[in-house]
Amino acid sequence: MFSPKAKKNFMLAVVGYKPQDYRLEEVPLPKVGPEEVVIRVKRVGICASDLKCYQGADRFWKGPPTPYVKPPFIPGHEFIGEVVKLGPGASEKYNLKIGDKAISEQILPCWNCRFCLSGKYWMCETNNVYGFHGGIDDGGMAEYMKFPQGTINYKVPRDLPDDVAVMIEPLSCAIHAVQRANIELGDIVVIAGAGAIGLCMLQIAKLKNPGKLIMLDTKEKRLEIAQELGADIVINLTEEDAIAKVKDSSDGYGCDIYIEASGYPQAVEQGLEMIRKLGTYVEFGVFGHEAKVDWSIIGDQKELDIRGSHLGPYCYPLAIEYLRKRLVKVDMIVTHTFPLREYKKAMKIASEGHNSIRVTLTPNENT
């Protein structure tokens, strides 16, 4: 049932209108329809893409080809919650009951395009993701949210704490990116960006038993955490020549695998220089601005395999299991938590990133 706070069919939510113009407002409670689920949001994370959207990155507000954001909208695609309403057929379809802990994959597939019909739903032509479009795609920065009909939903073990379960979505993305890398035994693997997803990638890559795991970042504290989580070598980009150090660590050839998880355009050029001939480059980061490179490196000079990585398809069950078994640890990654009313402070701390990695909000505590 809805909490006593949800009076007169309204709830508190963060609503985005334009860059830097997000407001805490009372909005209507979501109504449940056939095969739909409504959750009481327990925790929601602030992703780098949430920050770029909030700050006004062109990719979200201008395109190409058209603006991705459709305001007004409720942000937040990293969430975990408790089931409070089930529409007809939802309990049977998703094996859920009132009171269960539940999560929904970040994309809302159309199930009609060529990608959805061939099982590649994460590349759905409509590309509707929670937290960027107003309406049925509204996200988790609210006291309650709805999983619309056609979404992909999972029960989460009750004993998985909310501050761990909120990392299911980022971890699923990390798993997919590492799968795309096709890491072989003994490979030298570089991960650029020791943010929440980069640190999850590090732990998943470790399970592949590479020869060396190298983490790149500009923040010393994050690199210290990377070492604790299994990195063999960490490189502070503000203090060392990362390209030279990686080549020194690989008999001059360069790394076998480069996974870009920072979202900084400079990291693309760095990776192409750092990787060996016939190596594999995986692009995961979401850029706020265009990244430009010399494509002759990719073809004529090195004949590289270039792969993209988008979302976490078919990876949620693995992410839940890895967190449950503590094969992936996130206690050092989830660093800050704020009540929903303090979302602006949370955004500021997440953006600065001095002592934070993943900042989360608790919509139903002290709101």
Convert the pLDDT of each residue in 174-216 to its tens digit. 999 999 999 999 999 999 999 999 999 999 999 999 999 999 9
Query: In this structure, are strands 37-46 and 78-86 parallel, antiparallel, or unpaired?
Result: antiparallel
E strands along the chain, which residues?
10-18, 21-28, 37-46, 78-86, 101-104, 144-147, 153-156, 188-192, 212-217, 233-236, 255-260, 275-283, 305-308, 334-339, 358-362
Q: What is the pLDDT of residue 367?
A: 46
pLDDT tens across 262-294, in order? 999 999 999 999 999 999 999 999 987 888 999
Query: Superfamily for 171-308?
Result: NAD(P)-binding Rossmann-like Domain (3.40.50.720)
CA 10, chain centre distance (Å): 29
E strands along 271-318, which residues?
275-283, 305-308
Average pLDDT of span 144-170: 98
251 Cβ contact list (under 8 Å, min separation 6): none
CB 130 within 8 A of CB 77: yes
Which candidate, 271, 289, 288, places its Cα nearest to that of 280? 271
CATH 3.40.50.720 occupies which residues in the chain? 171-308
Neighbours of 344 (CB within 10 A): 15
Average pLDDT of span 331-349: 97
pLDDT at residue 26 is higher than 80: yes
CATH for the 7-167+333-362 domain, from 3.30.1490.20, 3.50.90.10, 2.60.120.590, 3.90.180.10? 3.90.180.10
Q: What whole-number distance in Å separates Cα of residue 232 and Cα of residue 241?
A: 17
CATH 3.90.180.10 occupies which residues in the chain? 7-167+333-362
Helices (H), 275-341: 295-296, 316-324
The SS3 assignment for 18 reads strand
